[in-house]
């Protein structure tokens, strides 16, 4: 039987499916020893040493994926968008463009300093 976490990725239409799978791989490879993927709030969440690090979701209006960053209220980066959120900020991802891996890792580096 397939888990809800795996269903999240496999039930998406292309190009969203490939983008989410690529983001998953990028996040997990950033710190494979300490970033753990879990299914929380019906979303794929990534925890760093047991604390919420980030999650994957898509914008309701644009249907574009994004990475939601926990603790992002504690740091700034031009790639982060706050919107109406209090603690979280997001990194919007365009499915029609290359994923900005270096930018993601810059944000992840800043986020790690908050733990």
Q: Is 1's pLDDT higher than 90? A: no
Total number of domains in the chain: 1
Residue from 5, 109, 110 nearest 56 by CA: 5
3-state SS, residue 45:
strand
pLDDT at 50: 92
Average pLDDT over residues 4-16: 95
Q: What is the CATH number of the domain that holds 91?
A: 3.90.1150.200
41 φ/ψ angles, rounded to the nearest 5 degrees:
55, 30
Percent of the chain with pLDDT over 70: 100
- The span from the first CA to the last CA of the chain, in angstroms, equals 35
Task: Specify the DSSP element, H or E, that contains 38.
Answer: strand 35-40
pLDDT at 39: 97
Residue 52 belongs to domain spanning = 4-112
Q: Is 54's pLDDT higher than 90? A: yes
């Amino acid at each position: 039987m397939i888990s809800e976490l795996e269903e999240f990725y496999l039930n998406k239409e292309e190009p969203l499916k490939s983008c989410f799978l690529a983001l998953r791989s990028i996040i997990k490879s950033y710190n494979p020893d300490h970033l753990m993927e879990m299914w929380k709030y019906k979303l794929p969440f990534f925890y760093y040493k047991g604390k919420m690090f980030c999650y994957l979701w898509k914008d309701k209006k644009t249907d574009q994926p994004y990475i939601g960053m926990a603790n992002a209220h504690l740091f700034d980066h031009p790639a982060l968008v706050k919107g109406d959120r209090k603690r979280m900020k997001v990194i919007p991802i365009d499915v029609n463009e290359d994923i900005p891996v270096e930018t993601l890792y810059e944000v992840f580096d800043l986020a790690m300093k908050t733990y």
